[in-house]
Structures are given as C-alpha cells and as structure tokens.
Amino acid sequence: MSTPSSVWDAVIIGGGFYGCALAVFLRQNGHHVVILEAGADLMQRASYVNQARIHNGYHYPRSFITAWRSLVNFPRFILDFRECVESSFEKIYAIARRGSKVNAYQFREFCRNIGAPIRPASASIRRLFNADLIEDVYTVREFAFNAVVLRELMRARLARLDVPVQFQAEAHHIAQADANTLRVTLASGETLRAKSVFNCTYAQINTLLHHSGLPLLPMKYEITELALIEPPPELRDLGITVMDGAFFSTMPFPAAGLHSLSHVRYTPHESWADLVNGYRDPYAYIAGLDIQTHATYMIHDAQRYLPVLSKARYVRSLYEVKTVLIKNETDDGRPILCREDYGLKNLYLVMGGKIDNIYDVLKYLQQFAQPIDQDMAEASHDQP
Ligand SMILES: Cc1cc2nc3c(=O)[nH]c(=O)nc-3n(C[C@H](O)[C@H](O)[C@H](O)COP(=O)(O)OP(=O)(O)OC[C@H]3O[C@@H](n4cnc5c(N)ncnc54)[C@H](O)[C@@H]3O)c2cc1C
C-alpha cells in the first residue's frame, strides 16, 4: 500500500474504470491516492454493464466531435488495453430505409469526412438483412472489450503501483476540512482527509453532491436493459448495428461469451432528470425496482430487419442506470464531464460518457496533476 498518510494527496471515489484509470494516472505522477469503492469489487457497475463497444466513430453521425474523438482514441485504447480487446468478429453497420436520421449516402460521407474505414458488406452478409427495410450494409473497423479482462488489467496496474482500494466504502459526504484539505465522510462514519477529491461515481455523482449540499448537475438517467443472447450460428462472428434511430445492436459481449442485444426503443425502461423531476438516488431507485425484461420485444422488432435473429436464444438481462448529460439528448454525443473546484476547492467531478474517453479526461486533468514525485513521474509511462 502506498504510504498511507493522515492527509491523502487525492481520494478517488468510485472504483469503476474511470476511478481506476485516474488513480493509476495520479500515482504515476507521484500522488498518494486511495480509491473508495462502495461495492465489493472494482468495475461492477456501468464499467461492466455496457455494450462493450470500443467506439471508432461510426455510432455518432450526428455528433461530429464525439465521432472524431472516438476515431482518435481508438488506436490508443486498443494498444494500451490490448489484452481485453476482442477483434475476431466482423462489425457491420446497416442503414434503415425508413425512420433513420441519416441515409446511406450521408453515412458514407460522414465516414469519409472523419476518415473512418468503411466498405460495402459482402453478399452473404447482405442476404441476412431484409432488403425492404435496410437501405445498405457496410463492414467497418470496430471492436469489443472484455470487461472482466479489463478489470483484471486495472487491478494489476493498481497493485503494481501500490494503490490501496477500500471496498464496501461508500462515500456519503464531502466538506471543507480546513483551508487546504477536504474531508470525505463514509456511510460507516469513517472520515478521510485529502488535498483533492475526485467524484468518479457516474450515476451517483449527484447523490454525493446532494448529500454534500452542493448544486446538482443537469443529468438524465435511464434504467437500461442489456439483453444477453446466444446468437444463431450465422451471427456468431458478427456484430451488427442498425442505424440511426429506434433500431438495435447485437454484438459480442466477451465477458459472458454471449451477444448483447440492445434496442433504442426497448432498452430504456424509464428515465428522469434530477433538475426536471426532482432528485432521486439512482442506485437506491434501481435496486427497488422489479424490472420485467423487454427482451421479447427487442427480438421481435429486430428480426424484422435481421430475420435470422428469430433463432436467437435469450439468456438473461443486465440492468444499469445509464447517465448522460441533458444537453446531449438530441445529438447523442458523449463528451466528457470534468469540473474542478466544484463548490469546494479541489473537488473534481469526472464522468467519461464512454470508455475510450479516458484519454480526453486525462488530457483535461493533466494541468491539475503536475508530478509531485519526480522519481515516480520519470519511471511512469502514459498508460492509464
Ligand atoms: C447500458 C450502457 C451501455 C453502454 N455502452 C457503452 C459502450 O458500448 N461503449 C462504451 O465505451 N461505453 C458504453 N457505456 C458507457 C460506459 O459504460 C461508461 O462511460 C463507463 O463505464 C463509466 O465508468 P465509470 O467508472 O465512470 O462508472 P462506473 O463503472 O459505474 O463506476 C462508478 C463506481 O462508483 C462506485 N460508487 C458509486 N457511488 C459511490 C459512493 N458514494 N462511494 C464509493 N463508491 C461509489 C460504484 O460502485 C461504481 O463502481 C454504456 C453505459 C451503459 C449504462
């Protein structure tokens, strides 16, 4: 364990991918950091319950910046985290004839503009689709990540750097301790002091702010369902996304050896926004729900476009509170959220929006994380 002290350089609240990557980054810069994680292990929430897509831009034809940043971050991510990258499948984007916010020509032009490789899909793949409903089909370069392998990678990196992690350590409240330090009070009553505190709790960012008497951010929450299916043999080596509107994706979910199925209409079960509907604790709320799966609706609708899906076998569903900034509701963009001195000096809020945004977060935080231990910094590399 890295020198525990009465005052940490940084307390990182949340042991998801972002909290872990940030802890590695700060430790490599010589800071003494500790991670507080409410759960029993790292990366059990959104960093596990997600579609596992390593974005390469294609998904965001209506948000140029998000698409372009994905394209820039993709090669870095697949190099830095190569052990968790699943690339042994062919990724297909199909454009719906009706109801899509982009047509095939616009999609091709968009890919050309951002420089994302794309080519017409083979005849055998095209034959899988209902040509009455699908305008065109493309093969692209996009992969998936194995969330369990990614978790073990992060665990190993934290251990190598001697970063302590406290589990079952739910932070409840953050306050100024004195002019230079902040105090984090856990639900258990234990307190820690730090020069900086990073709130990396994704769906729970506002909950911590609420308990600390600080203003809430304009977030939108969706109770989401990711169905896990055993795909028919024809789809086993494919990942398919039908664009761009109330359609669906089915692609490998390597952590479970299955495919995920998500549908823009049926994946969200309900949604709310704190600043519109009033504050709600997202984890407490989802834990109290008795959610009935929408998998049958997902499969029924999706098989209109991809008839072979009728042979898929539903296995189970994963549920999580998806959290986005309200301003991205219309363009579907996923910018990072980074705030410093949020209500309290040296309180940082960090939300990545998607996994590969980690590089944008670290770039933003670089200015606040100057190396304080030169030996450590020199020995470090810039892997998050
Ligand atoms: C349905 C869905 C599909 C998605 N699909 C993709 C995709 O295909 N590709 C992609 O790149 N991104 C995707 N995302 C987004 C991606 O999952 C998130 O951007 C990323 O996982 C967020 O990581 P995080 O560390 O911020 O959050 P989390 O992984 O949720 O980590 C937050 C951690 O904070 C802990 N915590 C919460 N409150 C407290 C507290 N008070 N004290 C201590 N600990 C606390 C939690 O237990 C948790 O471990 C998807 C998200 C969802 C929900």
pLDDT tens string 328-345? 666 677 778 999 999 999
Q: How far apart are CA 133 and CA 96, in angstroms?
A: 6
pLDDT band per the 50, 70, 90 thresholds, residue 156: very high
> Is residue 299 lining ligand 1, measured as CB closer than 6 Å?
no
* Atom 51, ligand 1: residue with shortest CA distance: 50
User: Would residue 372 count as lying in a domain?
Assistant: yes
Confidence of residue 119 (pLDDT cuts 50, 70, 90): very high
Determine whether the shortest distance from the Cβ of 323 to ligand 1 is under 6 A: no
Q: Kindly state the average pLDDT of the residues 232-248.
A: 97
377 pLDDT more than 50: no
For residue 286, pLDDT beyond 60: yes
In a domain, 384, yes or no: no
Q: Which of 269, 275, 250, 375 is nearest to 319 (CA)?
A: 269
Q: What are phi and psi of 228, to 5 degrees?
A: -110, 130
Percent of the chain with pLDDT over 70: 93
Tell me: pLDDT of 199 over 80: yes
Distances (CA, A) of 256 to 239, 260, 264: 15, 9, 22
The CATH number of the domain where 199 resides is what? Answer: 3.50.50.60
Does some domain include residue 14?
A: yes
**Is residue 192 within 6 Å of ligand 1 at its C-beta?**
no
In a domain, 90, yes or no: yes
**Ligand 1 pocket, residue 212 CB under 6 Å:** no
User: Is the Cβ–Cβ distance between 329 and 220 less than 8 Å?
Assistant: yes
Look at ligand 1, atom 26, and give the residue with the nearest C-alpha.
202
Q: Which helix (H) or strand (E) holds 110?
A: helix 104-114
- Bridge-based pairing of strands 258-263 and 248-253 is antiparallel
**pLDDT for 78-87, tens place per residue?**
999 999 999 9
d(CA 221, CA 91): 28
Cα distance between the two ends of the chain: 19
Lowest mean pLDDT across 130-134, 160-164, 239-243, 363-367: 363-367
In a domain, 30, yes or no: yes
Residue 367 has pLDDT above 80, yes or no: no
Q: How far is Cα 328 from Cα 186, in angstroms, rounded to an integer?
A: 32
Q: Is residue 154 part of a domain?
A: yes
Peptide bond into 244 cis (omega under 30): yes
Q: Whose CA is nearest to atom 46 of ligand 1?
A: 14
- pTM score: 0.95
Helices (H), 172-249: 205-211
Q: Mutation test of ligand 1: which of 332, 355, 358, 360 has the most ligand atoms closer than 8 Å to its C-beta?
A: 355
pLDDT for residue 333 = 73
For residue 169, the model assigns a pLDDT of 98
Q: Which domain holds residue 59?
A: 7-379
Task: Specify the residue with its C-alpha closest to ligand 1, atom 50.
Answer: 50
- Ligand 1 and 231: CB distance under 6 A: no
- Is residue 172 predicted with pLDDT exceeding 90? yes
Q: Are strands 219-230 and 191-199 parallel, antiparallel or unpaired?
A: unpaired
Residue 1 covered by a domain: no
Count of structural domains, the chain: 1
Task: Tell me which residue has its CA closest to atom 16 in ligand 1.
Answer: 354
User: What is the position in ligand 1's atom list of the atom closest to the CA of 321?
Assistant: 53
Q: Is 225 in the pocket of ligand 1 (CB under 6 A)?
A: no
Q: How far is CA 141 from CA 3, 115, 377, in A?
A: 44, 11, 35
Q: Is the pLDDT of residue 256 over 80?
A: yes
